[in-house]
Amino acid sequence: MNEKSAESPLDSPPASGRPEGYVDIEYTVEPNYAGWRLDRYLGEKIRRLPRTRIQGIIQRGLVCEHRLKPSTLVYPGLTFRLRRNASAEPETPTELPIVFQDDWLLVLDKPAGLPIHPTARYQRGTLVSLLRERFGERFAEPAHRLDRETSGLVVCGRTTEACRVLGRLFLSRDVHKEYLAVCEGHPPEDTFTVDAPIAEGTELIRIAVRIDRTGGKESRTRFQVLQRFVRDGAPFALLRCYPETGRQHQIRIHLHEAGFPLVGDKMYGPDPGYFDRFSKHALEPEAWARLRLPRHALHAVHIAFPHPGTRQPVSFESPLPGDLVDFMAGKALAPGPEDATSAA
């Protein structure tokens, strides 16, 4: 998908006052980002924009008590607002099922379709916004991310120290994560491994990843076939996925590489052109029928790590959600253009 030269929804006007037709997206820096450059921090939150665009937005002025530059080092609690053009925001799920809560942790079962952080398109309909609306500004902060279409477990820190410890655990690979995925095809072996380095960006889609065996980052995922089944005359399988590294879109691109793409995956599925047309609200009915689901069939089912307060092992589970259960049971599903509310 080519970058547009026209003004982006995130290209902000001068920060004096708030002109009609604009809204402000508020960011509060979490403890695990302490010491990051501001442009790197925003790049983590708004992955669709290249760093040069983000630096331009910062230089034109964010709404903040102090002047911020791309090289400004952020600190926990730093709050600023990013001004963007107002536009209709797609509806997103509003439920936030709580799996576990104590003084240190909040573990949520995120529904598919709910983004975690504000983006160019989503401001109010995000997990972070729902948390603040229901529990208050400093109640909890997500320690990691899931794609908008991915459902399942999200771990949040409830104290500054908890956020710091969780950030270190995720960076050091001391968090064990497992996913359930419904893929196309019948893998011939009951267990298989994809060991393929990943690099960011493709010719068509900047936010996608690709397999790059010369310059990519080490990436390895183990897969276990739990069930093979046939639906509408086509073969599918339910897999348990064990990512040994934590790259963006790792499971999705590794299943594509293995020849068993996720059901419903518009970016790494049956046609590389689906994602571009989907993001432009122009995905035709035949493509929706080929995708079979309105979202990609990936669910974060299990997570385990040392508790940030007690240091004792804790683990959490989330059952396979109803839409994927229904798909496996052969129930009628009707994805279509009404589901094309945003890029994956």
Beta strands at 98-101 and 105-110: parallel, antiparallel or unpaired: antiparallel
User: In the structure encoding, which two tokens stand for residue 153, read together?
Assistant: 């477990």
Cα 243 to Cα 6: distance, rounded to the nearest angstrom: 39
Count CB neighbours of 272 within 10 A: 16
CA distance 276 to 235: 27
Residue 176: count other Cβ atoms within 10 Å of its Cβ.
14
Task: Report how far residue 225's alpha carbon sits from residue 186's, in angstroms, rounded to the nearest whole number.
Answer: 9
- Given the residues 39, 109, 147, 339, select the one marked as catalytic: 147
Angle at CA 131, nearest 5°, toward 127 and 137?
Answer: 130
Instruction: For residue 275, give the nearest of 266, 284, 283 by alpha carbon.
Output: 266
Q: Six-digit token pair at 102? A: 């104590």
Q: Is 103 a catalytic residue?
A: no
Owner of token pair 């060991």 = 195
Residue 20: count other Cβ atoms within 10 Å of its Cβ: 6
Residues annotated as catalytic are 147
